[in-house]
A and B are shown apart, each in its own frame.
Chain A
Amino acid sequence: MESRPTLAVFKFASCDGCQLTLLSLEDDLLALASRLHVAHFLEATSRIEPGPYDIALVEGSVSTPRDIERIRQIRRDSRYLITIGACATAGGIQALRNWADSEEYLRAVYARPEYIETLATSTAIADHVTVDFELRGCPIDKRQLLDVIGSLLAGRRPRIPNHEVCLDCKRKGTVCVMVAHGTPCLGPVTHSGCDALCPAHDRGCYGCFGPSRQPNLVSLSDQLRRDGMPPREIVQAFRGINAYSPEFRGEGDRLEAESDRSDEADRSGEADRSGEAGRSGEADR
């Protein structure tokens, strides 16, 4: 038996981008392969070995009944189970279905929905089994992945900074897109990891690394509203790549309920003032 720790990579509902990050380690890939024994990595090798595994990297979200069985088995087989990417840590972009009627979704995509077996929801791996460490990002960051694997190899718990994107953004010297351009940005509530890519490209962060450690979402929503962003659009901003993370989900739902209530009030207000002339529909937008 080899003494090198074994690595296994598994995929659930996802785009493959996070496991690709592993293959994109380039200079470090072969070095990594010499320190770890790759026992299960369908995308990289046809040699498939049974568990137990020392380190399992799991990509993708749980979205079929079969997924639940598989992830439980993987958990049983693995010493450290590390989830990688927004799909695995928050349900991914596909978690948008969690707000929709999935029957309708099926019809929208597939001509013959009856063939498709699917859960109504897309959920994080940690909603189903115990996860030892979650690495965020859509996709995950190469350096952070190396850091996590390096820590595990050294027998340490990975430690990844969990501050807001803003800190990295300002270290880089990027001009704040929110203050200087009025561009909505989720950077102040988003977990670091990307080295503040989007603002460096003159656009707002759309939260692909998910919520930071203690995001003050209500305050950011208030500010976005003050800057003229309609509440419904703010809801959509939170319902993006990490829509189903508890924090973004909570704030999106809160705002939605609030704007539902105000629409309601508007409508009844309108009924009351049905005689009034010249009222523009603008306010509803």
Chain B
Amino acid sequence: MDATVASTLWLARDELQRLIDLLWDRQYRVIGPRIDSGAIVYDEVRHQDELPVGWTEQQEAAKYRLVRRDDGQRFGFNVGPHSWKRYLFPPRAVVGEATRGPQGWQLSDHPEEAPAYAFLGVRACELAAIAVQDRTLIHDQYSDPIYAERRRRALIVAVNCTQAASTCFCTSMNTGPRCTAGFDLALTELDDGYTVEVGSDRGAEIVAALALPSADAGSRRRADGRRAEAVNQIRKRLDTTDIRNLLMDNLEHPRWDEVAERCLSCTNCTMVCPTCFCSSVEEVSDLQGDHVQRVRQWDSCFSGEISYMNGSLVRGDIRSRYRQWLTHKLATWFDQFDTSGCVGCGRCITWCPVGIDLTEEVAAIRETPP
């Protein structure tokens, strides 16, 4: 059939491999969910069997466990410790080079041949996260060139959630669980196959190449049912009413002291968060010092060094760092980028080694105005 944006097609269960093959054939590096070291991470996928077939995860604050499902779903889980940020905004990238010559220093950028990624299995909250990063890293005047180019080339095959983890709160953030925009294709997994929604011309072109039939009404209904299950399972809430002012009016709330007693300032929450974007540049030179690379690495408002100035730290204690993180994420992000910095994926809750839950922190501040 002639697929156009917004049409819904059908991909039989084992045809997924054809999609994967086609993407590789078109020189995409296909990245998708795989099991590694006891978690579902994002890595190269060449074969549909490498996906976490029949696995799911149990998540709660400071706890993540893989568990078996009783069916053969490939996408029967939510989000793991990785996010696509790892690929679009790599944790380590060379942003410039300097070489000492007879005329003194020669400076050059280090243009990368941006890889063309095809992301397989992007969730609704992750689509939202990518949209947030578009705003934080691409601007009219200055953009992150690495992000921008990788992003431009990336193809996105989203997957609708059919279940929710106890840490998910996308419904509070209006980011999910349904994939509504920002994808080239969006799948909903059923036992015998996938309904495929087309989100872009690029997506349409791919389904055309695969010659997918359109999805029948029954499959569509079943897909609706599956997606509704995800909505029903979401328990966690973050009350976002006037959240910007709530936080900014409570910068001296005693709750910051309490959370500082527990927070390790270990940076885990910011590393797993799909929207956090702080980075630092490190000079890496050979011993002679004649050749230098400027390496940009992920950094975090929880690292002390980030606020180093004039011999001391502006945010010298854990309290001020946690406050910086939460107020930036949930409040000042609105001032800067006209959006929340949080998409409700819940990663920071699961992967905080001491189980600090931002929704509880906000609720505590809301409950007890000073």
Contact = CB atoms under 8 A, between A and B. Distances in A.
B285 to A, nearest CB: 7
Contacts of B82: 173
Contacts of B352: 179
Contact of A162 (B63, B261, B267, B304): B304
Contact of A214 (B39, B65, B265): B265
Main DSSP-derived SS at the B contact region: loop
10 contacts: A146-B287, A150-B285, A167-B267, A171-B271, A175-B37, A176-B81, A179-B350, A179-B352, A188-B268, A216-B264
Given A146-B287, A167-B303, A223-B353, A216 B91 contact: no
B94 to A, nearest CB: 15
B55 interface: no
B355 interface: yes
A189 B264 contact: yes
A202 B351 CA distance: 16
Given A167-B300, A175-B41, A188-B264, A154 B289 contact: yes
A171 B351 CA distance: 14
A163 B264 contact: no
Chain B: interface size category: 35 or more
A178 interface: yes
Contact of A188 (B37, B92, B266): B266
Nearest to B356: A219
B186 interface: no
A170 B268 contact: yes
B353 A188 contact: yes
Contact of B267 (A35, A149, A164, A175): A164
B354 interface: yes
Contacts of B265: 164, 214, 216
B206 interface: no
Nearest to B300: A167
A220 interface: yes
Interface string A160-184: 0111101100111111111111100
Contacts of A202: 37
A222 interface: yes
Complex A-B, nearest 7 residue pairs according to Cβ-Cβ distance, in ascending order: A170-B271, A188-B266, A171-B91, A166-B266, A175-B39, A188-B264, A175-B37
Contact of A32 (B37, B91, B287, B350): B287
Given A146-B287, A170-B267, A223-B62, 12 more contacts: A149-B287, A150-B285, A163-B267, A166-B264, A166-B268, A167-B267, A173-B41, A175-B81, A178-B62, A213-B304, A214-B318, A219-B261
Nearest to B316: A214
Interface residues of A, number: 41
B305 A162 contact: yes
A108 interface: no
B267 A179 contact: no
Contacts of B288: 31
* Majority SS at the chain A contact face: helix
B64 interface: yes
Contact of A166 (B38, B39, B271, B305): B271
A166 B267 contact: yes
Nearest to A218: B261
Contact of B355 (A176, A215, A223): A223
A180 B64 contact: yes
A222 B261 CA distance: 11
Contact of A179 (B64, B66, B303, B317): B64
B172 interface: no
A188 B92 CA distance: 21
Contacts of B135: none
A218 to B, nearest CB: 8
Contacts of B287: 28, 31-32, 35, 146, 149-150
Nearest to A159: B305
Contacts of A185: 353
Contacts of B68: none
Interface in B324-361: 350-355
Contacts of A220: 264, 353-354
A187 interface: yes
B240 interface: no
Nearest to A28: B287
Contact of B353 (A35, A150, A163, A179): A179
A267 B252 CA distance: 45
B214 interface: no
B297 interface: yes
Given A163-B303, A163-B304, A223-B355, A173 B268 contact: no
Contacts of A187: 266
Nearest to A185: B353
